Amino acid sequence: MANIQSFTSIMLIFLFLSLATANYYETLSPQQLGSPEKLTHIRFYFQELISNQEPSIIITDPPKVMNDAPLPFGSRVVLENQLTLRPELDSKRVGKAQGFYLSATQKPGVELEIVMGFVLTFNEGKFNGSTLSVLGRNHIVSEVREMPIIGGTGAFRFARGFAHARTVRVDYTKGDATIEYNLYIFHYSSFPFPSHHQGF
């Protein structure tokens, strides 16, 4: 009798344990990353070409309330800009930026204040195929605009850092512009965990 009772309680304990451990998460040790965090500096030139046959930016759904601002409050711009190694348009292409500008100031006039979000995809060297996501406020008339880097993929997993944008040249009649970007990024370039984890 005693034996059956203890057997039953052992079974119950096992049942509870297996229910308690049936989770959709587990804690891993950061040591399992196997490599130290890296700090990388990246520089490229962001080429905005409005005068092209195929412009690299388009304004979608112009806002109903218009004023004399070049991008009135509520304007949305979608961009796909090339990134080059040097300021010259015909220099080596190292990647592209895909994203948006939202005009987010109610002040009329040319003091552009935009919220900018974009994904950088590199196509050269050891960062080929890796991406970085940037989201921040871009006060266009400031000499240097700083925006946070909020994440990344591939060699930029766990990325965090900031981007500095500085206008190198702008053609006010055509609207074309070249912006120098300097990025400082903490990231881990290796990540040994499989996409289909069998852990639990």
Instruction: Pick between residue 42 and residue 114 the one whose CB is nearest to ligand NAG.
Output: 42
| Shortest separation between residue 95's beta carbon and ligand NAG, angstroms | 10
Return the number of other C-beta atoms located less than 10 Å from residue 79's C-beta: 18
Assign 12 to helix, strand or coil. helix
| Shortest separation between residue 128's beta carbon and ligand NAG, angstroms | 4
Q: What is the largest CA-CA distance in the chain?
A: 95
Amino acid in position 22: A
Burial of 173 (0-12, 13-18, 19+ CB in 10 A): exposed
| Shortest separation between residue 44's beta carbon and ligand NAG, angstroms | 15
| Shortest separation between residue 69's beta carbon and ligand NAG, angstroms | 40
Instruction: Pick between residue 83 and residue 140 the one whose CB is nearest to ligand NAG.
Output: 83
Residue 150, φ and ψ in degrees, nearest 5 = -105, 0
Q: What is the dihedral of CA 71, 72, 76, 80, to 10 degrees?
A: 0
Instruction: Pick between residue 81 and residue 130 the one whose CB is nearest to ligand NAG.
Output: 130
Which residue is at the shortest CB distance from ligand NAG? 128
Positions touching ligand NAG (CB under 6 A) are 123-124, 128-129
| Shortest separation between residue 122's beta carbon and ligand NAG, angstroms | 9
Instruction: Pick between residue 43 and residue 92 the one whose CB is nearest to ligand NAG.
Output: 92
Instruction: Pick between residue 37 and residue 124 the one whose CB is nearest to ligand NAG.
Output: 124
Q: Which of 73, 113, 85, 120 is nearest to 99 (CA)?
A: 120
Instruction: Pick between residue 88 and residue 124 the one whose CB is nearest to ligand NAG.
Output: 124
| Shortest separation between residue 9's beta carbon and ligand NAG, angstroms | 58
Positions of E strands within the chain: 38-48, 57-60, 76-84, 93-103, 113-122, 131-139, 144-153, 157-170, 177-188
